[in-house]
Amino acid sequence: MSDSDDTYDSFDERDALCSFLPQGDPIVGLRQRNRRKFWEECDSLAAEIPGLKEVKEILEEDVISELEEEERAGCPLPSTPEDPALFEQEVKEVLKVGLRDLDLGTLMNCAREPAEELVRKVWESWSVCHFHHLPRWLQDNDYLHHGHRPPLPSFMQCIKSIFRIHTETGNIWTHLLGCIAFIAVMVVFVSRSSEVVPISHKIALTPFFLGVILCLGLSAAFHAFSCHSEFVGKIFSKLDYCGITILITGSFVPWLYYGFYCQIQPMIIYLTIVVVLGIMAMIVSLWDKFSESRFRPLRAAVFTTFGLSGVIPAIHYTILEGWLNAVYFASLGWLILMGVLYILGALIYTFRIPECLFPGKFDIWFQSHQIFHVLVIAAAFVHLHGITEMFTYRMSIGACAVQSATFIT
Ligand SMILES: [Zn+2]
């Protein structure tokens, strides 16, 4: 009788022990059958997976004490699949991947722990991979060679990956920190007393704050969960594009409100146009193929055009009030700077600068997408400064009748 046969005997003894367990505990028996099947298939797998035999031997040494421990602990780990076929499949796949990607020493250490712990540790011990090893749905930027996350079909794994270094680390943190910063600014602004900031002004600026927070938050979420699966990745990429649309729409609202504060009709017309354009951009970005790599220029074009549509009310304002008033009272300079930052970001994003010039050299840091993210945050802060200035002027000027006397003629 071989060593493994001895082990089977111990499993049989274990089955006998388990017959004393309450009827509500069928999982114990199921796990034993799963283990047995696994060892039966181990010999055939050993040919395919180098090093599996050694792992098996170490696991067998500890199996009796492990079972005793389980008895004390109660029933299996919550994540243990109840379907034997699922269990077998998971063990095979994880060991194949794990043994390929991990060094044997690490695995040997892991092997001294219960089988489920081993599976869990190997499963969690993913390592970054080359672009060519990614599934097609994860292949986005072929100028980034190394450091990609493999598919991680678990939300917890994706969240944990935020704290590891890979091609998306910079993308996640740039917008996550930006989102937190804008939440803090919004809380400070909204919580000010209504004598300092009247409620109507709080309402006017809130769409901008919400737009930035949603855009940055959804973007960070997209970059965190994009590797979960093709389905989840697509949903989050659509949310990411919706966030950009909300940001552009939200940025227009306070500027149009303060710019045309005393001309209600153009204000309402422009606000309506912006909302309609925002809805249209959102519909386009919900199109299934919109997130595909080949439509990168189209994405940049849609959002840039939408953003640049702000030129029309800006020209209108300048014609009505003159260039100097536009600069002093409508923060035109800040508006232009914001536009320049967005356009620069869109160009860098589209042409994938600098990694297209030095493929493989900006895999982790300073890649085009990170620069684009930083420029988006810079543009949002510039716009915040601009509309805060407009708000301050409006508060100091007062009623519309006084405004004409204040303006530069
Ligand atoms: Zn992004």
179 Cα: distance to centroid of ligand 1 (angstroms): 13
244 Cα: distance to centroid of ligand 1 (angstroms): 10
313 Cα: distance to centroid of ligand 1 (angstroms): 28
pLDDT class of 48 with cuts at 50, 70, 90: low
For 113, the 3-state DSSP assignment is coil
Which residue carries 């180098």 as its tokens?
50
- 119, 91 contact by CB (below 8 A): yes
- Nearest to residue 365, comparing CAs of 172, 161, 126? 172
Angle between helices 368-397 and 332-351 (to 10 degrees): 170
Ranking 43-52, 135-144, 341-350 by mean pLDDT, the lowest is 43-52
pLDDT class of 394 with cuts at 50, 70, 90: confident
171 Cα: distance to centroid of ligand 1 (angstroms): 6
335 Cα: distance to centroid of ligand 1 (angstroms): 22
Which residue carries 């925002």 as its tokens?
278
- Nearest to residue 237, comparing CAs of 177, 165, 275, 289? 289
223 Cα: distance to centroid of ligand 1 (angstroms): 7
Angle between helices 84-101 and 115-124 (to 10 degrees): 50
- Nearest to residue 116, comparing CAs of 159, 146, 73, 163? 73
**What pLDDT score does 121 carry?**
59
**What pLDDT score does 18 carry?**
37
Integer-rounded Cα radius of gyration of the chain: 30
Ranking 47-56, 135-144, 159-168, 188-197 by mean pLDDT, the lowest is 47-56
The span from the CA of 244 to the CA of 291, in Å, is 13
**What pLDDT score does 155 carry?**
95
The helix (run of H) or strand (run of E) holding residue 403 is helix 400-406
The helix (run of H) or strand (run of E) holding residue 295 is none
Residue 101 has pLDDT above 90, yes or no: no
pLDDT class of 34 with cuts at 50, 70, 90: low
The span from the CA of 399 to the CA of 192, in Å, is 22
218 Cα: distance to centroid of ligand 1 (angstroms): 9
The span from the CA of 226 to the CA of 169, in Å, is 12
**What pLDDT score does 29 carry?**
46
Structure-block tokens of residue 349: 């994003």
Which residues sit in the known binding site for Zn(2+)?
223, 369, 373
127 Cα: distance to centroid of ligand 1 (angstroms): 22
pLDDT class of 115 with cuts at 50, 70, 90: low
Which residues sit in the known binding site?
223, 369, 373
224 Cα: distance to centroid of ligand 1 (angstroms): 10
Count of alpha carbons within 13 angstroms of residue 399, beta-carbon side? 2
Structure-block tokens of residue 218: 């959804």
**Ordered DSSP codes for 178-235:** HHHHHHHHHHHHHTS-TTTS-HHHHHHHHHHHHHHHHHHHHHHHHHHHTTS-HHHHHH
378 Cα: distance to centroid of ligand 1 (angstroms): 14
- 167, 364 contact by CB (below 8 A): yes
147 Cα: distance to centroid of ligand 1 (angstroms): 17
29 Cα: distance to centroid of ligand 1 (angstroms): 48
Which residue carries 């014609």 as its tokens?
319
